[in-house]
Amino acid sequence: MRRMNALSEHLKGQAAAAFSGKGIILGLVLSLSASAALGLFLVWLNTEGTRLAYKVRDYQRAVESSFEINAKLKVEHSFRMSPQELAKKAADLGLRAPRPGEIRRMSGSPSSPSVPAQE
C-alpha cells in the first residue's frame, strides 16, 4: 500500500510539473497556432468563395450574351432567306426563273440517264 501511495504521489508530482511552466506555454503556443491556422483557412475559404462567385457571374453574362447574339442571328437569317431578299440577290447575280422544258428530273440512281419532266 505504501508503495502504491508513493507511486501515486510520484505520478502526481510529474503531472503537476508537466502542467507548470513549459507545459502551459507549450499548450498555449499549440492552441494559438491551431487558431491562427484555422483563421487563415477561413480567410482563404472566403476568398475562394468570392472568386468563384465572380467567375460564375462572368459565365452567366457570357451565356446571356450568346443567347442575344443567337437571337439576332436568327432574325438576320430569316431576313436574308425571305423571298424578296432571295429574288433581289438572284437578280443581282443575273439569275432568272427556269423556262418550261429547262428542268429535268433525275431518277434515284446517279448513273441513270436524265428523263424530261412530265408536264
pLDDT at 24: 87
- In the chain, which stretches have pLDDT less than 70? 1-20, 109-119
Residue 91 confidence (pLDDT): 93
| Measured distance between the N- and C-terminal CA atoms of the chain, rounded to whole angstroms | 128
- The model's pLDDT over 83-98, given as tens digits with 9 standing for 90+, comes to 999 999 999 999 988 8
| Verdict on whether the full-model pTM lies above 0.85 | no
CA distances from 32 to 71, 81, 114 (A): 59, 73, 93
How far is CA 55 from each of CA 2, 36, 45, 49, rounded to the nearest angstrom? 73, 29, 15, 10
- Output the pLDDT for position 4: 64
Q: What pLDDT score does 119 carry?
A: 46
